[in-house]
Amino acid sequence: LVDLLIAPEMNPIDEYLSALLFHLPYRDTRDVYLRVRSYQQQLASALERVNAEDGPKQKAVVKRLTVYYNAKQTFRVQGFEKQPDITTPISNSEIKN
């Protein structure tokens, strides 16, 4: 599966598409699936010009897993204040017994 992300201002798109298909490994022995979104119509027409076949239409469903919430009050957690950042390197530290 190849997910094509091509800027709309790229011209000529046929040359980029032909180069991509030429350099894909195993293209002669395996099927190549290209994902084209509905807003990429110029890409779909370029694929038709290189004899690509349409697959079944699919729809993506997005489910929101987060809830936007405004905190009524902010507070400090004492355990985290004035502690070293978790990304602080420890390679130069000394261990004393």
φ, ψ at 35 (rounded to 5°): -95, 120
φ, ψ at 2 (rounded to 5°): -115, 125
If you search the block for the tokens 């798109």, which residue do you land on? Answer: 13
pLDDT value of position 45: 81
pLDDT value of position 32: 83
Q: Are 2 and 33 in contact (CB under 8 A)?
A: yes
Fill in the amino acid letter for 10: M
If you search the block for the tokens 């979104």, which residue do you land on? Answer: 37
Assessment of whether the complete model's pTM goes beyond 0.75: no
CA distances from 6 to 3, 11, 63, 71 (A): 10, 10, 26, 40
- Residue among 40, 50, 53 nearest 20 (CA): 50
Structure token digits, residue 84: 């070293």
Per-residue confidence of the chain (97 residues) as pLDDT tens digits?
778 777 777 778 888 888 888 888 887 888 888 888 777 778 878 888 888 888 887 776 666 667 666 767 776 666 666 666 666 555 555 666 6
